[in-house]
Structure 1
Amino acid sequence: MALSAGVPDGASMSYLSNADVKVGIDLNRGGAIVFLARAGEENVINNFDLGRQVQLSFFSGPVPFSVNGQQPSEHWEHIGWNPIQAGDDFKHGSKVLEHRNDGQSIYVKTLPLQWPLNNVPGDCTFESWLRLDGAVVTVRARLNNARVDKMQYPARLQELPAVYANAPFHRVVSYTGDQPFSDAPANIIPKSTGKHPWSFWQGTEGWAALLDDNDRGLGLLTPGRTFFTGGFAGKPGPNDTHATSTGYLAGQGQEILDHNIVYEFRYELLAGTLAEIRARAMASKASSSALPAWTFENDRQGWIYMNARDAGWPVRGALQVTLDQEDPQLLSAFSFWRAEEAPRLSIECAIKTSHKTAVVYWQRHGEDAPGAKDFIQFPIQGDGEFHRYEIDLASVPSYKGSIIRLRFDPVPVGSAGDTITIKSVRLMKPR
Structure 2
Amino acid sequence: MTRRLPRLLLAALALAGLPRLASAAKPPTPTEDLLTIDNGTVKVGIDRAKGAAITWLSWAAYPQNMVNSADPGRLIQQSYYAGLRLDRQADGQSKAWSPWSWNPIQGGGVSSWARVTVFQRNDTSTLYAETVPKLWDMPNEEAAALMRQWTGFEPEMPDVVVVRCEFTAQRGENDRWGPARLSPQEIPACYFTRNFATIKSYLGDGQWRPETQPPGPPWGKTRPPRNAMALFAPNGQGVAVYSPAATQPWNFGPHAGGNTDDPAAGPCMHVAPIDRVNLGPKSTYRYRYWLVVGTEAQINTRLDALAKKYGTERAELTNP
The TM tier, using the shorter chain, reads 0.7 to 0.9
Q: Percent identity?
A: 26
The residue aligned with 1:266 is 288
Partners of 1:114 and 1:174 lie apart in 2 by 31
User: 2:93 is paired with a residue of what secondary structure?
Assistant: coil
Partners of 1:209 and 1:52 lie apart in 2 by 17
State the Cα distance separating 1:276 from its structure 2 match.
2.3
- Write the mapping of 1:258-297 to structure 2, written as runs, cut at 5 A: 258-287=280-309
The residue aligned with 1:253 is 275
| 1:138 alignment partner, one of 162, 179, 182 | 162
Task: Please identify which structure carries the higher helix content.
Answer: 2
| 1:314 alignment partner, one of 294, 309, 319 | 319
- Write the mapping of 1:1-20 to structure 2, written as runs, cut at 5 A: 12-20=33-41
Q: Which has the larger radius of gyration?
A: 1
- Write the mapping of 1:118-133 to structure 2, written as runs, cut at 5 A: 118-133=139-154
State the Cα distance separating 1:81 from its structure 2 match.
1.0
Asked if the contact 2:260–2:267 (Cα under 8 Å) also holds between the matched residues in 1, the reply is: no
| TM-score, length basis structure 1 | 0.61
Amino acid of the structure 1 residue aligned with 2:290: E
The residue aligned with 2:107 is 86
| TM-score, length basis structure 2 | 0.81
Partners of 1:201 and 1:153 lie apart in 2 by 26
User: What root-mean-square deviation, in Å, do the aligned CA atoms of Structure 1 and Structure 2 show?
Assistant: 2.6
Q: Describe the superposition over 1:92-129 as per-residue Cα deviations: whole angstroms up to 9, x where unpaired.
A: 21111112202221110000111110210011010000
Asked if the contact 2:245–2:288 (Cα under 8 Å) also holds between the matched residues in 1, the reply is: no
Partners of 1:11 and 1:114 lie apart in 2 by 26
Partners of 2:310 and 2:39 lie apart in 1 by 28
The residue aligned with 2:118 is 98
Number of matched residues?
282
Asked if the contact 1:83–1:114 (Cα under 8 Å) also holds between the matched residues in 2, the reply is: yes
Asked if the contact 1:86–1:93 (Cα under 8 Å) also holds between the matched residues in 2, the reply is: yes
Asked if the contact 2:50–2:108 (Cα under 8 Å) also holds between the matched residues in 1, the reply is: yes
State the Cα distance separating 1:287 from its structure 2 match.
5.0
The residue aligned with 1:25 is 46
| 2:188 alignment partner, one of 158, 161, 165 | 161
State the Cα distance separating 1:71 from its structure 2 match.
4.2
User: 2:166 is paired with a residue of what secondary structure?
Assistant: strand
Q: Describe the superposition over 1:21-46 as per-residue Cα deviations: whole angstroms up to 9, x where unpaired.
A: 11111101110111100036110101
Partners of 1:196 and 1:118 lie apart in 2 by 20
| 1:49 alignment partner, one of 71, 75, 88 | 71
Partners of 2:86 and 2:214 lie apart in 1 by 25
The residue aligned with 2:129 is 108
Asked if the contact 2:217–2:255 (Cα under 8 Å) also holds between the matched residues in 1, the reply is: no
State the Cα distance separating 1:208 from its structure 2 match.
0.6
The residue aligned with 2:205 is 182
Sort the Cα spacing of 1:153 and 1:77 in 2 relative to 1 into closer, same or farther, 3 A: farther
Asked if the contact 2:214–2:254 (Cα under 8 Å) also holds between the matched residues in 1, the reply is: no
Partners of 1:278 and 1:11 lie apart in 2 by 36
The residue aligned with 1:7 is none
Say if 2:235 is the partner of 1:235. Answer: no
The residue aligned with 2:17 is none
- Write the mapping of 1:68-87 to structure 2, written as runs, cut at 5 A: 70-87=91-108
Amino acid of the structure 2 residue aligned with 1:201: T
Partners of 1:273 and 1:201 lie apart in 2 by 22
Amino acid of the structure 2 residue aligned with 1:76: W
Q: Describe the superposition over 1:233-252 as per-residue Cα deviations: whole angstroms up to 9, x where unpaired.
A: 11232310111110000111
User: 1:237 is paired with a residue of what secondary structure?
Assistant: coil
Sort the Cα spacing of 1:80 and 1:11 in 2 relative to 1 into closer, same or farther, 3 A: farther
> Structure 2: which 5+ runs fail to align?
1-24, 26-30
Asked if the contact 2:109–2:136 (Cα under 8 Å) also holds between the matched residues in 1, the reply is: yes
State the Cα distance separating 1:277 from its structure 2 match.
2.3
Q: Describe the superposition over 1:118-171 as per-residue Cα deviations: whole angstroms up to 9, x where unpaired.
A: 210011010000111311110000111110144323211111101001011112
Q: Describe the superposition over 1:391-427 as per-residue Cα deviations: whole angstroms up to 9, x where unpaired.
A: xxxxxxxxxxxxxxxxxxxxxxxxxxxxxxxxxxxxx
Sort the Cα spacing of 1:57 and 1:289 in 2 relative to 1 into closer, same or farther, 3 A: closer
Q: Describe the superposition over 1:272-302 as per-residue Cα deviations: whole angstroms up to 9, x where unpaired.
A: 2222222221003435676x9x9xxx966xx
Asked if the contact 1:25–1:34 (Cα under 8 Å) also holds between the matched residues in 2, the reply is: yes
